[in-house]
Structure 1
Amino acid sequence: MKYLVLLVLLFSAALGRAQPASQTVRGTVLDADSKSPLPGATVLIVGAPLGDGIATDQHGHFRFARVPLGRISLKLLCLGYQERLVANVVVNAGQEVVLELSLQELATQLNEVVVSAAPDRRNAQNEMVLLSARSISVEETKRYAGGVNDPALILSSFAGVTNSAAGSNEVIVRGNSPKYVQWRLEGTEMTNPNHFADQNAVGGGVSALNNNLLATSDFYTGAFAPEYGDVLSGVYDVKLRKGNNERFQSILGVGLMGTDVTVEGPLAKGYEGSYLANYRYSTIGLLSNLGLVELEGAAPTFQDGAFKVFLPAKRLGTFSLFGLGGRSGIRLDNINPGTWQLPTNETTDATIRRDYAKASYLLNAGLSHTLPLHPNGYLNTTVSFSGNGIEEDMFESDVHKRYDDRGTWLRDSLSNKQVNYQSRLDNRSYRAATTYNHKLNAKNRIQVGTKYAYLHFAYRQGLAKNGVSLVDFDEGMGTLRNFVSWKHRLNDRVTVVAGVHNMNVLYNRKSTLEPRLALNWFPTERSTVSAGYGLHSTMESVHNYFAKVKQAYGSYTEPNQDLDLLKAHHFVAGYEYQLTRNLRVKLEGYYQHLYNLPVENLPTSSYATLNEGVIPRYVALVNQGTGRNYGAELTLERHFDRNYYFLLNTSLYQSTYQALDGRQRHTAYADNYLVNLLAGKEFSGLGRKDNQTLSLNAKVFLGGGKRYVPLLRGANGQVAVDPARQQFWDAAKAYDQQLDDIYQVVVSASYKWNKRQTTHELFLNIDNVTNNRSRLSEYYDADKPNATGYQQQFGLFPNLMYRIYL
């Protein structure tokens, strides 16, 4: 309660202050390739008098001391460099704006080509990435409806990306399994950053990432640059911003999803080092702990935190400590597959009650060091740890129905409660990586890197009721990855990135050599043509390597320890045209040929691990499966300008695979089409002092129905399962069918007002406003019509949040 009183006092004090007229905007300008500071670059505020421009100092720093509140655009100029326009920088009363910007050196003499300033085209921050990529700004994560200030959820707003529609944070990219997405934090691999995730790292309902700490991050969907390995699907490279190194700042937030605090500031007066930290606790869990609410039947709780400490050391370069961690738990009583995806066979039985408890943790921490070796070269070294663990218990009780003398049901009584399923999983990874970056000249840049990881796994999982052990191992694996990448700019219109990636699994001596090639061509000032190819590989989920498989004579073996790497050829081609200064259209097509896929070693089986979801299946596997993903993505986007924006994208795609049964099938992720329409309008200058802003945003999503494995049915279409023999599913018809198409409408509103040295924001997001409940999959339930129950789309869900920026 004392924290609530403190928050009210802060709120009341802030309302009593007068509105400031301005805020500080400052930052650093760097060379895009060498990351060296650019002294003498000119920074202009668009619309301000020409003489108001500022030149960067010897360290590349610039500062505007009194900038009006609202939105501004910055224009960057430097002799021998391409001009750049940085649009929609938000200036609030409560927080200084601290930017890190870069300029690309011209590859040709100034009199050979005229390059005018244009707004950022959402290109990747990584200059070695030329296609199938998008940068995601912090402002977008706050503005887009459906993102709920969640940096993971926002990905499903982009072309080629969708999720399960069941309320989880799965990231399904171009028909690939979400377990093949690679999450990165500050350039190094991290765990799935979602609370309540499963052992395949495909689920999770709440992200531990918090956009109060984020910088602009990159998301890649195919034909990855040479530095990215051990990934088939997509890469989300999350960056943390530096804290303010001149003054203390904080953000307090209270919302239905969580209550959090963010603090940042200088480490010492006159020192450029800084700290940034955030902590959040689930609001419902906090209220429960304080005794203000009592939860029965479902009690989800979570907490998470993240930090970054920036430590410049002059001649020794710069050091950076960073981390992200969280814990979560949930208890579900009288559960059925329609309310939660069970980790065991998805069926129901009226004579059995199931209760479920789950606890999990995630932890990522690292130390990064950047050492300038000379003006055009630097060495980046990172050591990191990542870990996550899951504890699951499924309890079963016999249900006895009690009736009176007339046969009227009175109540159910329970007996013989026991653990039916138990899982204890722990993953720990220790990584070290070093990359040398060298800018040879304006046309050429090279990268050479090596990455070593030691992965340790401790798994115990089994059906306690039957005494069946599914996995039981405590093992370590080492991987070594190497890459070389060369960026060559033929001129200011044509850029090529070529290289090779080498992946080695030291445990079973599997390795690959993966060529990569990408091309960007600007035939005109408004158009871009891109093309690329890459061979990619990844390891399968570790539990498949050590699965215990029962043999015909009753003993158990582990036949999968020699599994090879999954591999895929990625081909991408695209065209982008800038219709106006703020309006662009982009068309991108792709083809992915997957091979070496693990499939069940049985000629009649349709099972492949790429369809594996929450429920693991432990069988003997061989690398003889193949697959194809292909499609086209069209995007029409108007960047935020004159107080409005919109984003329309559509994707048509197919995803198929073939197991040992020889039949070409749809994968579990072959939804076939998706459409996103996002739009928003901002009304600024409201209130008597023109210090208030209202933002309205909406999202409409349309998508194909989810693929599923149907129940066994007879010739008459009626369910014909055999519970006694545990025969429920018709594997011969796996993923042939789809249920309902999916649609969802999301609306959000933000009301912001500036006071003296503080900014207040009230935010409301409502997911699935129409409460559409499309069917996603089916399960056996004898008490339902035709003994069929359905898992459904996540329903209407509001999220209200209040934040104060100090």
Structure 2
Amino acid sequence: MKNPILLLVFITLSTISNLWSQSVMGTLRGKVIDQNSEIPIPMAHMSLRGNKGEQIITTDLDGNFAVKQLAVGRYSVEISYVGYETVVLTDVLVSSTSTPFLTIKLKESVSVLDDVVVRVRQEKEAPLNPMASVSAKQLNMEEANRFAGGFDDPARLVSSFAGVASGVGENLLVVRGNSPKGILWQIEGIPVPNPNHFAEINGFGGGGLTALSSRTIGNSDFFTGAFPAEYGNALASVFDLSIRNGDYTDFHHSAQVGTLGLDVASEGPINRASNSSYLFNYRYSTLGLLGLGVDYQDLSFKFNLPTENLGTFSIWGLGLIDASESTPDTDTLESDFKWQYVEDLSSEYAQLSTGVGGITHKYFVGKGGYIQTTATVAANEISATNSRLDDDYVNTHILDSIEYQSVDYRLSSTLNYKFSPTHSNRTGVLYTHLNYDFTLQNAPQLGSPLQTIAEDDGQSHLIQAFTQSSIALPKLQINPGLHVLHFTLNGNTSVEPRLGVTYFAGEKAKLSLGYGLHSQIEKLSFYLADVPVGTSTQQLNRDLGFTKAHHVVLAYDRMLGEHTHLRIEPYYQYLYDVPVVDSSHFSMINLTDDFFINSELVNEGTGTNMGVDVTLEQFLHKGFYYLTTLSVFDSKYTDGNGQEWDTRFNRNVIANVVAGKEWTIKENNLLGANIKYTYMGGSRMHPLDNVASLDAETAIDDLTQPYGERTPDSHIASFTLTYRINKPRYSSHFSLQVLNTLAADEYLGYQYNFRNHTMDFITDAIVLPNLTYKIEF
């Protein structure tokens, strides 16, 4: 070109064109370790396959690998090593601003010579814990976050799993007909207080929203029954959560704003030479900014500090603060139009805080295993009152008051050792020092002085120990174990055998059997309640024993092709020594949220849960995935009269259909859509004594038929739309999540209608939309 101006324009346009056409790149890092000993595996062979071809790499002497300059998108990763079974990870997502870290565990083969590489499929449905045989599923956070209705909340995410029922307004988990209070929450391998916002107030065992953000949680395990011997003091389920390590090579930050809250996160190296890192996440609810009477915030963090000779230290923690308040309009003008139900006359105030901090030390012992020791302190405080205007709409009377503080110190130590390719063992102890201070009061009737239900302060101890082994044979794996639980408050001890057996019927099918005896203590205030005896009170429940349960589970797993998995799990649970009130319908088996229990309790109740869970799942393949579950079950209990009734959780049928699709847009961007439909049979409630209720102007239950009435069935639909834009230095995420899209009713029971002087059945249709924008850089 002779014209220099035209030449300059041509060069400029060409440069811009090249810049826009450049592929956005990302990085994939990870570590390959032995499944049982967790010793790094050096020089493992790895193959990465994506849309732009294949790359071959090997791990370094510490089992680490890093692949840079990968085009963003999804990859298939195959890892192999001589004498080990090959693992294939499919649809691993690589983005421009977050570096996925894969911890890949290889299982040593027991059926071949040392110089042979065994090729097996990837078990995406398998839990992280190698000791688990039945009723366990891994919660892969990258996969689970695609599910509609999850709201980035692990508890809501697992409500899509077989055997699990949950509501819209809270994340209480009813697992196989058991009360939500039977769940064990663990973080970093040690029990923690209920880690949910508005925990215990919304319901024992759950709350409104998990305080751990999905951006800090690593892949975790969820158990629905017959759990391994390392888990104790739980009857229903175990949620074994982990906090992932931050990136030790590069800094990553994110900020999110949405209709429900603000979210800020950061991670990166502390010292690149030692691979130390930090990770933190802070959230604040915009509901508080909008003045809706609900305010919550949480902070989670982890510092990972490897050393050259002293093992790896990690310092981690979780803190949350909640507040809620509602008051009635005390203006008496046109009061007949304002006040219809008792809730219109009621005031509620609650302030809650929970903090957990821990130090974990992991030290490898030779080439066979490691010792992991964790020390934690957990503080929890609840201050709540409920009040009501009197019939003159002038004076407010307190109905009940909760002041509950606890500080628990825990120390655990576990030795995990692989003696040979066929035998591994995990043995550990857990000591919990319980400190408590509480005052629980309520009024027998409106306007009456408050009476003390329980008031005490002091300390007690809970001591647990376990041992469990994994014995691998060519077509059989046996996981025997034993758990011991001792409660010093009353000297009760429980010795609990556990067993898991798996038979591998070829490469695509296996049959498993699980058994466990499990037990659980109650809330401390129930042991120390002031039970009326004549004109005084006594702590008659102090010697109350454990509630116990036998779990038996049979599981059949089969791969249908390369990407579809079928699991069928029939189960039977027999609960005994359940606390009940003599000559009463009351049983702890039905308890969800009542602090104010001061009746004498005896361990004479029983219960049964039996059913079958069916799961059919297609893992992400060519952009499409689905999960369908069906649970058919029956849940019964015997009361203090020795009579058998349905439990309040006996819905009989639960079904879920979750389906989603991903599309790659303009090579670098990702569009996702997901829908979820849930059908649940109605829950149980006491019938209404209509005549007595109208006379008392409040709901009076007909206790001649406990839980004899069933609410209508529930049909809940939710959807999620996401769009991710990848740029070289940042990525943008747009998300719309709507929970209960079709405004299905939740059924709350009966209330007296002050306007019409009738007893009305109350429903509430909660639709929760959450529109968010997040930037990562």
Give the structure 2 partner of residue 425 of structure 1: 404
Which of 517, 541, 563 is 1:582 aligned to? Answer: 563
In structure 2, what is the Cα distance between the partners aligned to 1:351 and 1:365?
A: 38
Is 1:41 aligned to 2:44, yes or no?
yes
Kindly tell me: are residues 779 and 619 of structure 1, through their superposed partners in 2, closer, same or farther at Cα, counting changes over 3 Å? farther
Q: Is the 8 A contact 2:25 2:728 kept in 1?
A: no
Kindly tell me: are residues 776 and 589 of structure 1, through their superposed partners in 2, closer, same or farther at Cα, counting changes over 3 Å? farther
Which of 328, 331, 338 is 1:334 aligned to? Answer: 328
Which of 157, 179, 182 is 1:180 aligned to? Answer: 182
1:759, distance to aligned residue in structure 2 (A): 1.1
1:52 counterpart SS class: strand
Q: Is the 8 A contact 1:91 1:97 kept in 2?
A: yes
> What are the within-5 Å matches in structure 2 for residues 189-204 of structure 1?
189-198=191-200, 201-204=204-207
In structure 1, what is the Cα distance between the partners aligned to 2:76 and 2:612?
A: 33
Kindly tell me: are residues 19 and 329 of structure 1, through their superposed partners in 2, closer, same or farther at Cα, counting changes over 3 Å? farther
1:793, distance to aligned residue in structure 2 (A): 4.9
Q: Is the 8 A contact 1:202 1:614 kept in 2?
A: no
Give the structure 1 partner of residue 296 of structure 2: 302
Q: Is the 8 A contact 1:707 1:777 kept in 2?
A: no
1:96 counterpart SS class: coil
> What are the within-5 Å matches in structure 2 for residues 333-732 of structure 1?
333-334=327-328, 353-398=345-390, 400=392, 414-463=393-442, 465-491=448-474, 493-551=475-533, 553-600=534-581, 602-603=582-583, 605-616=584-595, 617-684=597-664, 686-687=665-666, 690-713=667-690, 720=693, 722-723=695-696, 728-732=700-704
Identity value in percent: 31
1:111, distance to aligned residue in structure 2 (A): 9.0
Deviation per residue, 1:362-400 (Å, 9 max, x gap): 111111111112110211111112222211122322354
In structure 2, what is the Cα distance between the partners aligned to 1:784 and 1:760?
A: 53
Is 1:747 aligned to 2:719, yes or no?
yes
Q: Is the 8 A contact 2:694 2:759 kept in 1?
A: no
Aligned CA-pair RMSD: 2.2
In structure 1, what is the Cα distance between the partners aligned to 2:575 and 2:422?
A: 35
Q: Is the 8 A contact 2:179 2:589 kept in 1?
A: yes
1:462, distance to aligned residue in structure 2 (A): 0.8
Q: Is the 8 A contact 2:24 2:726 kept in 1?
A: no
Structure 2 alignment gaps of length 5 or more: 1-18, 330-338
Kindly tell me: are residues 463 and 694 of structure 1, through their superposed partners in 2, closer, same or farther at Cα, counting changes over 3 Å? same
The residue identity in structure 2 corresponding to 1:86 is L
In structure 1, what is the Cα distance between the partners aligned to 2:727 and 2:530?
A: 63
1:23, distance to aligned residue in structure 2 (A): 0.9
> What are the within-5 Å matches in structure 2 for residues 213-228 of structure 1?
213-228=216-231
Q: Is the 8 A contact 2:46 2:78 kept in 1?
A: yes
1:46, distance to aligned residue in structure 2 (A): 2.8
In structure 1, what is the Cα distance between the partners aligned to 2:540 and 2:377?
A: 30
Stretch moving more, 539-548 or 29-38: 539-548
Kindly tell me: are residues 142 and 51 of structure 1, through their superposed partners in 2, closer, same or farther at Cα, counting changes over 3 Å? closer
Deviation per residue, 1:482-513 (Å, 9 max, x gap): 1111110012x311100111110011110011
1:780, distance to aligned residue in structure 2 (A): 3.6
In structure 1, what is the Cα distance between the partners aligned to 2:652 and 2:427?
A: 39
1:758, distance to aligned residue in structure 2 (A): 1.0
1:97, distance to aligned residue in structure 2 (A): 2.1
In structure 2, what is the Cα distance between the partners aligned to 1:584 and 1:216?
A: 19
Give the structure 1 partner of residue 93 of structure 2: 90
Is 1:325 aligned to 2:329, yes or no?
no
Give the structure 2 partner of residue 207 of structure 1: 210
The residue identity in structure 1 corresponding to 2:169 is G
Which of 779, 785, 788 is 2:751 aligned to? Answer: 779
Deviation per residue, 1:42-94 (Å, 9 max, x gap): 11113589983111111001111121101112100000000001122111111
1:114, distance to aligned residue in structure 2 (A): 8.3
The residue identity in structure 2 corresponding to 1:453 is T
In structure 2, what is the Cα distance between the partners aligned to 1:349 and 1:771?
A: 22
Q: Is the 8 A contact 1:653 1:672 kept in 2?
A: yes
1:801, distance to aligned residue in structure 2 (A): 1.0
Kindly tell me: are residues 105 and 696 of structure 1, through their superposed partners in 2, closer, same or farther at Cα, counting changes over 3 Å? same
The residue identity in structure 1 corresponding to 2:364 is P
Kindly tell me: are residues 59 and 203 of structure 1, through their superposed partners in 2, closer, same or farther at Cα, counting changes over 3 Å? closer
Kindly tell me: are residues 283 and 352 of structure 1, through their superposed partners in 2, closer, same or farther at Cα, counting changes over 3 Å? closer
Q: Is the 8 A contact 1:456 1:476 kept in 2?
A: yes
In structure 1, what is the Cα distance between the partners aligned to 2:299 and 2:686?
A: 39
The residue identity in structure 2 corresponding to 1:361 is S
Give the structure 2 partner of residue 156 of structure 1: 159
Q: Is the 8 A contact 2:699 2:752 kept in 1?
A: no
In structure 2, what is the Cα distance between the partners aligned to 1:638 and 1:785?
A: 54
> What are the within-5 Å matches in structure 2 for residues 21-36 of structure 1?
21-36=24-39
Kindly tell me: are residues 17 and 428 of structure 1, through their superposed partners in 2, closer, same or farther at Cα, counting changes over 3 Å? farther
* Superposition TM-score, scaled by structure 2 size: 0.92
Structure 1 alignment gaps of length 5 or more: 1-15, 336-346, 401-413
1:86 counterpart SS class: strand
Deviation per residue, 1:449-492 (Å, 9 max, x gap): 1111011221111126423111111121101111111110012x
1:140 counterpart SS class: helix
In structure 2, what is the Cα distance between the partners aligned to 1:770 and 1:49?
A: 42
Kindly tell me: are residues 51 and 353 of structure 1, through their superposed partners in 2, closer, same or farther at Cα, counting changes over 3 Å? closer
Kindly tell me: are residues 557 and 780 of structure 1, through their superposed partners in 2, closer, same or farther at Cα, counting changes over 3 Å? farther
In structure 2, what is the Cα distance between the partners aligned to 1:606 and 1:567?
A: 20
Kindly tell me: are residues 734 and 380 of structure 1, through their superposed partners in 2, closer, same or farther at Cα, counting changes over 3 Å? same
Kindly tell me: are residues 794 and 322 of structure 1, through their superposed partners in 2, closer, same or farther at Cα, counting changes over 3 Å? farther
Kindly tell me: are residues 19 and 567 of structure 1, through their superposed partners in 2, closer, same or farther at Cα, counting changes over 3 Å? farther
In structure 2, what is the Cα distance between the partners aligned to 1:547 and 1:431?
A: 25
1:732 counterpart SS class: coil
2:526 counterpart SS class: helix
Kindly tell me: are residues 420 and 713 of structure 1, through their superposed partners in 2, closer, same or farther at Cα, counting changes over 3 Å? closer
Give the structure 2 partner of residue 406 of structure 1: none
Give the structure 1 partner of residue 9 of structure 2: none
In structure 1, what is the Cα distance between the partners aligned to 2:249 and 2:411?
A: 32
Q: Is the 8 A contact 2:83 2:114 kept in 1?
A: no
Which of 110, 115, 119 is 1:116 aligned to? Answer: 119
The residue identity in structure 1 corresponding to 2:769 is P
The residue identity in structure 2 corresponding to 1:300 is V
In structure 2, what is the Cα distance between the partners aligned to 1:486 and 1:95?
A: 37
Which of 260, 264, 274 is 1:261 aligned to? Answer: 264
Stretch moving more, 589-598 or 425-434: 425-434
Which of 780, 791, 795 is 2:766 aligned to? Answer: 795
* Superposition TM-score, scaled by structure 1 size: 0.89
In structure 2, what is the Cα distance between the partners aligned to 1:461 and 1:321?
A: 35
In structure 2, what is the Cα distance between the partners aligned to 1:284 and 1:742?
A: 27
